[in-house]
Amino acid sequence: MATDVAVIAGAGQGLSASLARLLTKEGFRVVLASRNTGKLASLVEETGALAVETDVADAASVARLFEAADKAGPLALAVFNASGRTRGPIAELDPDAVKQALLVGAYGGFLVGQQAARRLLARGSGSILFTGATASLKGFSGSAGFAMPKFGLHGLAQSMARELSPKNIHVAHCIIDGQIEPPGQATEPDQPDRRLSPDAIAETYLAVHRQHRSAWSFEVELRPWVETF
């Protein structure tokens, strides 16, 4: 039996690295997509993952990513972690920077989701998980350039879930409500677990993927115990 493949788009050293380690441990063949695969060299060596240079805002680049993943085995899980953002007062935002944020954070989600959906529909099962943020639900002052792509990604996930769930494809939107603990940074002894552990988030993502279809989650909010909401 071929090994199931998990594609992680927008891979870096935080949550994506934790996902790659956990999924590899659980028997997946992991494919990492990043604009700069050089920064993933140590993670690739550690996990045996395949790193593919990818611009998630470019349709041809995303298509090549999934063609490479096809050679690794049948797709079972796709995770979209890429995020586009630019912050500042609305009167001062750079239009080109906002456009790029939308292309990466929302349009990129569409491109990855579309390629994943095609393969999972052919398979008849699988999961597509989108990583959101507090800005997926609330637009804060000075955050228009972040809220716009996150709202768009949220709408994409809702639409895909309603279309694909009846076809046995699990689509979920995971809201990260708080700061993820940076790699290599020690937890403050006087403020334990103030930030989200990327390993703990990865465990939740895997649990969502493995949920029984009689009780699928769509919206999953993750926040530290000290976070107000």
For residue range 157-185, what is the model confidence (pLDDT) as tens digits?
Answer: 999 999 999 999 999 999 999 889 987 76
| Cα separation, 188 vs 183, whole angstroms | 14
Mind listing the pLDDT tens digit for each residue in 25-37? 999 999 999 999 9
- What angle, 0 to 180 degrees and rounded to 10, lies between the N-to-C axes of helices 59-72 and 108-123? 30
Total-model pTM: 0.94
Report whether pLDDT(13) > 90: no
